[in-house]
Each structure stands twice: as C-alpha cells, then as structure tokens.
Amino acid sequence: MQKALKEYSIVWMVYEKTSKIARQVMAPGDITLPYLVSAENPYLDEFSLLTGLLIMYFTHPPMSVTHKIKPYFKDILISLLEQFKKHNGYSSTKQVIMVICAYLKEEYRESLSKKALKAGLEIIPESLRIKSALLQLEDIKNA
C-alpha cells in the first residue's frame, strides 16, 4: 500500500529591508521569501524556509516590488544549508541537499524533489551525486 502524500502550500513572506534576514544579505529593499508549509508543519521556521527556497529557487516571487530578491536566494539558501548542516551533524552541504530531496520525494512528491535537486545543482554544480539523483528522477518519469 502506497503512502498518502502530504498536501502543501508555498507561503511567500515579505520582510522589510530592516529585518535581520534582509540585512544579512544586504538587500537594498524589502524581500519576499518562500516557505513550504503543510498541515503537519504549519510553521514558518528555518526548515520550511530552506525547503521553500530549494523548491522555488527558479520561481519569481509573486510581488513585483520585491522581485530584486532573486539574486539573494542563492546567498540565503547557502547560509541556511550551512546552518542546517552544522546544527544537525551532516558532513557536507551535498549531504543536506540529498537528505532534504529524499524527504520531499517521500513526504510530498517527486516533482518537489526534482525542483530541489535542480536548485542543489546551482549551489554545487560539480556534484555527481546530485546530477545522478536528478537523472534517476527524469528516467523514472520517462520510463
């Protein structure tokens, strides 16, 4: 029997340029960031931001006044990946990306895992492990 996949939403939060996260990346104005939320995890925490950024990395924020955040997605994502790695005892950023992608595939759906793997390749373009996982998902879809 196949496990039921969780329903989810992407919540875009606006942060003023004076907020901690906007100051961290030296954003020139307000920024909008994506969070992955579900009934099981309705919180706007670091993990939901990390997963939201991985999934929505190539998507433009919905608010035109904050469209300039796109260049900061990578910086914020790298920072969150490093924090997650440090706080959870992972040995590499690549390992964190692979664990999160496996979680997204298992709990939500393959399409979210695929989006996150593509974002992972933007962060670590030389990673053969991420490329291989992405190719496996594409092969499964095309089989």
pLDDT band at 30 (very low <50, low <70, confident <90, very high): confident
Is the predicted pLDDT of residue 114 greater than 90, yes or no? Answer: yes
For the chain, what are the domain ranges? Answer: 9-142
User: In whole angstroms, what is the distance from residue 6 CA to residue 8 CA?
Assistant: 6
pLDDT (average), residues 121-138:
92
User: In whole angstroms, what is the distance from residue 117 CA to residue 111 CA?
Assistant: 10
pLDDT tens digits for 35-86? 999 998 899 999 999 999 999 998 877 765 554 556 678 888 898 899 999 9
pLDDT averaged over the chain?
86
| Of 23-27, 105-109, 113-117, minimum mean pLDDT range | 23-27
- Residues in the chain, total: 143
| DSSP label of 32 | E
Q: Which two tokens stand for residue 8?
A: 């989810």
User: In whole angstroms, what is the distance from residue 71 CA to residue 25 CA?
Assistant: 10
Q: Answer with the residue of higher pLDDT: 137 or 107.
A: 107
pLDDT (average), residues 92-119:
95
* pTM value > 0.75: yes
Which pLDDT score, from 0 to 100, does residue 140 have? 61
